[in-house]
Amino acid sequence: MDTTADASQGWMTSGPGAQRRILCQDKALMMVEFMFEKDGVGVPHSHPHVQTTFVSSGQFEFTVGGDTQTLNPGDALIIPSNVEHSCLCLQAGKLLDSFAPRRDDFMAAHGLPLE
């Protein structure tokens, strides 16, 4: 079993009012937890990875490819490869994101080896 526990001390700033930690990963797939303060922002960006996002708690306004929707706990979405997306945290909460393949840029930023 290939896992990485970035766990308790692995939190790092990922944007205004937002932090992330890597929960597990291998070359094909990665799971990352994001924690947002109210009014925290996931700034507009895109990447070649396919992304899933699950709203664990809080309320978020997501814009994906120009379409904006409000997501609540239990809601999920898929963000296709290379599509610009962003979010605004309306109520403090957490997101669980998966990326395929793994985000090697996240690995490097967290000081984790690329094995």
pLDDT digits (tens, 9 = 90+) for 79-108: 999 999 999 999 999 999 999 999 999 999
Beta bridge partners of 19: 13, 35
User: What percent of the chain clears pLDDT 90, i.e. is strictly above it?
Assistant: 87
Q: What are 73-81's contacts with CB under 8 Å, separation 24+?
A: 76/52, 77/52, 77/53, 78/50, 78/51, 78/52, 79/50, 79/51, 79/52, 79/53, 80/50, 81/47, 81/48, 81/49, 81/50
The reported pTM is 0.92
Q: In this structure, what DSSP letter does residue 108 have?
A: H
In the predicted structure, residue 56 carries a pLDDT above the cut 70: yes
